Amino acid sequence: MPDRTAEAWRLLLTTHSLLVDRLSAEMEEALGLPLARYEVLLLLYEAGGEVRMHELAESLLLSRSAATRFVDRMVEAGLVDRRPCDSDRRGTVVALTGRGRAVFAAAGRFHLEGIRRMFCDHVSDEEADVMAAALGRIVAAARRT
């Protein structure tokens, strides 16, 4: 692996780790919302407000039992509801609650401000275009394998 490529790889991993840790800590401190819960709220919002439990588990890269425990904590916090799936009574749907939508809206603004401050303010439009093109190719190649 060429030195420049290895350095880019290390910097990508370091950047991801540092920014996710900082974004998570700031969100938890300011809003009492762990970043992982925000990501579930985002996924539900983008899916129209509800997702089948097995799809949520797959997108979180968790086992079904771990996803169930995670969702249980979100139900206890009033962020989501769990109910039987209308099209398959064996399945379960996880849906945003009114409180979940409100928390998501407040957290979204906070999260985007953090991304702007920690990432966007340090990258030009041209650099963003190059990064997006390169990372897009890498993601596409990884999904093909």
Q: What is the band of 99 on the pLDDT scale with cuts at 50, 70, 90? A: very high
Give the Cα separation of 22 and 123 in Å (integer): 18
The DSSP code sequence of 54-106 is HHHHHHHT--HHHHHHHHHHHHHTTSEEEEE-SS-TTSEEEEE-HHHHHHHHH
List the chain domain ranges.
Answer: 18-144
Give the largest CA-CA distance in the chain: 54
pLDDT per residue as tens digits for the range 32-87 = 999 989 999 999 999 999 999 888 888 887 778 888 899 999 999 999 999 988 77
Share of the chain above pLDDT 90, in %: 74
| pLDDT of residue 109 exceeding 80 | yes
Highest CATH level, class, for 18-144: mainly alpha
Query: Of 145 and 26, which is predicted with more confidence?
Result: 26
DSSP-derived secondary structure letter, 124: -
What radius of gyration do the chain's Cα atoms show? 18
